[in-house]
Amino acid sequence: MAQSSEARERRGARDPDGEAPRELEASEPANEPQSNGTGAAEGGVVASGSVGEDGHDGGGESGEAPSAPLESLNLRDGPIPHAPLPPVGGPWRSYKEILATLGQRVLEAQRPLRILQALRWEAEVEEQFLRSKQRELPRVTYSDDLGFDPAAKLREIEEILRDAERELGKRDRLGQILRATADEYRKVVSMLMGRGTKAFYTLSRELYGSPKDKLPDGKTSVRDMGFVLYDLLTAIGGERLGPPQQREITAEMAALELNARFDRFFGGASIRVQVDDSLLADAAAGSDYVKIRSGAMFSRSDVDILEAHEGWVHVATSLNGQAQPVARWLAKGPPRTTAVQEGLAVLVEILTFRSTPRRAKKLNDRILAVDKAEDGASFLDVFEWYRTEGYEEEECFQNARRVFRGGVLAGGAPFTKDACYCKGIVLNYAFMRAAIQHDRAMLIPFLFAGKVAHEDVPVLHAHVTDGIVRPPPYLPPMFDDMSGLAIWICYSSFFSRLGGTAIAEHYGRMLEH
């Protein structure tokens, strides 16, 4: 019989010789004790998937270990589990304590890894490029000082990975998420060490993906989706769909307005919106702040988008992750969470009718720009392509810089992060649609539980009842009450099945007369 949740919170005992029980091989009988010292938590705590005091392999007949006590809880009557033997050294630790400690170590390890700061171009790079009349590649140098010792950081993360596997076991599902997160931070260190080389691109593509990647249908690539959207968005780009949006709101005015809005949305949480003269993008969100570039001008629509994109998603998921007492790594986002994060932020723009054709085209053009750079287009080529798409000269430089920061300016090795935005929209929509269709809509808000990947969500939701994961306190309105969201997704699915193209063509012929 499986132990109760309290008894199975990793309180396994060592054998009389001081050896910890190890995970059973598939061919070993479950009732024979083993002792090679692996699979046990520090202080005599048995890891998930290891042989416990009752002689059972935590994975049951399927061989898949649960990630925490409640996943294999059996409520049938049985003997009361006995207390653990005295620990070899120090007090026993619960599963939650082990997981929280490891999560905190991951948080501390990633703290100095500031990716965008490490890829920053100095202001004189743009000045030099403009002086050359856009005929010469920008001359970019990166500081040798990353703000940390790469070799020491790699050793630190590798130690966390070893400890996580030893204390939680290989098959613990929360442990797998934690290790995947730590492993990505290890790759980030290596990627930053390769700035300006093709090695940077190789790791960027591994971490963030590529426009050449296939969507889960196995057929459609991200670039295929980008070309379809390019045609659709270009077709409506010249239409007068609303009143002209004048950019007459200064950065200081936008900060005051957003501070007032965030005070209403976040209540007691102290969220700061501040003007920053060192920022390259118009805006950027942190754990409890939003920075706005000094000198930038905004329209009313721009401010509305910043509220939803930066506040309701990026800041909210940071705060929700910080509120996790055990799954602490959810407070920060490794690259594996980027598609969910950016896709959610843009999807919220769309669901609140805040996005515009120009905004949507700008995000989609990033996919095509990365694709061109992968295929050998240089910074000059991508800059010129943006100019042919109608962007102002300053925007052309900013957009091209996003693609080539850290990469090879001559082409063939870009920074691929910007392919995540529109891919994330599609994947988040598909996830939500599947959740509703399979009567699992309760999973959708857990996209906001912190910085998560889609595959994390069912695992995290399974651990609400045992207190390992807390539901997200901050949610955009349409995710707090999902009735309207469910109807939107249902009708969207219905329209796609209806054969909308043929019906639209009927009305198209009518409108031609």
Is it the case that residue 422 has pLDDT exceeding 70?
Answer: yes
Q: What is the pLDDT of residue 381?
A: 97
DSSP state of 242: S
CA count, 13 A, side-chain hemisphere, 54: 17
Strand partners, 214: 221
Q: What is the pLDDT of residue 72?
A: 46
Is it the case that residue 297 has pLDDT exceeding 60?
Answer: yes
List pLDDT tens digits, range 131-188.
999 999 999 999 999 999 999 999 999 999 999 999 999 999 999 999 999 999 999 9
What's the mean per-residue pLDDT of the chain? 85
DSSP state of 153: H
> Band of the pLDDT at 27, cuts 50, 70, 90?
very low
What length is written for the chain? 513
Q: What is the pLDDT of residue 431?
A: 97
Rounded mean pLDDT of 306-331?
Answer: 96
**What interhelical angle do 198-208 and 173-193 show, nearest 10?**
160
- Token readout for 257 is 């307005």
Rounded mean pLDDT of 30-58?
Answer: 39
Rounded mean pLDDT of 230-246?
Answer: 81
- Of the chain, the end-to-end C-alpha distance in Å amounts to 76
CA count, 13 A, side-chain hemisphere, 88: 15
For residues 366 and 370, give the distance between their C-alpha atoms in angstroms, rounded to a whole number: 6
Q: What is the pLDDT of residue 68?
A: 54
Is it the case that residue 49 has pLDDT exceeding 60?
Answer: no
Backbone region of residue 246 per phi and psi (left: phi > 0; alpha: psi in -120 to 50; beta: other values): beta
Q: What is the pLDDT of residue 504?
A: 79
> Band of the pLDDT at 509, cuts 50, 70, 90?
confident
Q: What is the pLDDT of residue 215?
A: 94
Share of the chain above pLDDT 90, in %: 68
| H helix runs in 238-311, sequence order | 251-266, 300-306
Q: What is the pLDDT of residue 11?
A: 40
Rounded mean pLDDT of 53-72?
Answer: 44
For residues 292 and 295, give the distance between their C-alpha atoms in angstroms, rounded to a whole number: 9
Is it the case that residue 374 has pLDDT exceeding 60?
Answer: yes
- Distances from the Cα of 479 to the Cα of 267, 350, 428, 471, 489, angstroms: 18, 14, 13, 12, 13
Amino acid at 480: D
Torsion angle, alpha carbons of 324, 327, 331, 332, to 10: 180
Amino acid at 502: A
Is it the case that residue 47 has pLDDT exceeding 80?
Answer: no
DSSP state of 434: H
Is it the case that residue 110 has pLDDT exceeding 80?
Answer: yes
> Band of the pLDDT at 494, cuts 50, 70, 90?
confident
Rounded mean pLDDT of 68-95?
Answer: 60
Owner of token pair 């896709």: 343
Contact 70, 463 (CB under 8 A): yes
The pTM of this model reads 0.81
For residues 150 and 192, give the distance between their C-alpha atoms in angstroms, rounded to a whole number: 9
Q: What is the pLDDT of residue 56?
A: 41
Measure the CA angle with vertex 80, ends 75 and 85; round to 5°.
130
Q: How far from the centroid of its chain's Cα atoms is residue 191's Cα?
A: 18
For residue 460, what are the contacts with CB-CB under 8 A and spacing of at least 6? 177, 327, 330, 446, 449, 452, 469
Contact 367, 211 (CB under 8 A): yes
